[in-house]
């Protein structure tokens, strides 16, 4: 793999991660937390670790894979920045609701209910296309989707308990994290 590909990959991850480092949650302890979502976090972490298996530094990187990786990394970054901005201080690592939590449906939340997870999937694809053999990438995507589904269910249960019919309408109108599905 050429040296510039490592730079592209590192920059992709740094730009994707930056809004979450810069974003501050309310700092208050959330009164309503669903800790079952942590199992999803564990599976997502396993999915990311699968990407780095093997001797990727020895494999050639076809130009088309580099281009597709850059597209996915750019999309991941765009979604992470816009979703973090729209979510604001309501962003948390755990599935939780703040006392004054509002249902966010603007920005990228108009296209998908969980754009941060969509950005994470784009990060998996952008990284995987650059460094991971196809079968391992497919395995990583499956594990990622399983973990993300756990998180989505936990978060949506909380949102439904708080916003009721308003969330139900939003849920029917907007896909979870695969746009246009």
State the CATH number of the domain containing residue 110.
1.20.120.1630
Residue numbers of the domain that contains 101: 3-9+33-173
pLDDT band at 89 (very low <50, low <70, confident <90, very high): confident
- When pLDDT is averaged across residues 40-68 and rounded to a whole number, the result is 91
Averaged pLDDT, 56-78: 92
Structural domains counted in the chain: 1
Indicate if the pLDDT at residue 92 is higher than 80.
no
This prediction has a pTM of: 0.89
Quick one: pLDDT at residue 26?
A: 53
Alpha carbon of 152 to those of 3, 132, 139: distances in Å? Answer: 37, 26, 20
User: To the nearest 10°, the Cα dihedral for 111, 113, 116, 119?
Assistant: -40
Query: Do the domain assignments include residue 16?
Result: no
Does residue 85 fall inside a structural domain?
Answer: yes
Rounded distance between C-alpha atoms, residue 139 and residue 38, angstroms: 20
Residue 181, domain member (yes or no) = no
Q: Which pLDDT tens digit goes with each residue over 5-15?
A: 889 999 999 99
Q: Is residue 25 part of a domain?
A: no
**Is 20 inside any structural domain?**
no
The answer to the question of residue 154 being in a domain is yes
């Amino acid at each position: 793999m050429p040296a510039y590909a490592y730079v592209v990959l590192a920059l992709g991850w740094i730009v994707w991660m930056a809004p979450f480092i810069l974003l501050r949650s309310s700092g208050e302890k959330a009164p309503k937390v669903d800790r079952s979502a942590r199992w999803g976090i564990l599976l997502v972490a396993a999915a990311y670790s699968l990407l780095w298996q093997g001797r990727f530094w020895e494999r050639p990187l076809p130009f088309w894979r580099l281009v597709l990786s850059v597209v996915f990394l750019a999309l991941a970054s765009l979604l992470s920045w816009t979703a973090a901005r729209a979510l604001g201080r309501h962003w948390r690592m755990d599935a939780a609701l703040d006392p004054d939590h509002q249902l966010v449906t603007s920005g990228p939340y108009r296209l998908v209910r969980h754009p941060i997870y969509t950005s994470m999937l784009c990060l998996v694809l952008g990284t995987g296309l650059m460094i991971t053999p196809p079968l391992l990438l497919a395995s990583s995507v499956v594990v990622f989707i399983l973990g993300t589904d756990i998180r989505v269910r936990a978060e949506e249960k909380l949102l439904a308990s708080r916003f009721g019919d308003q969330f139900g309408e939003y849920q029917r109108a907007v896909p979870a994290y695969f746009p246009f599905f």
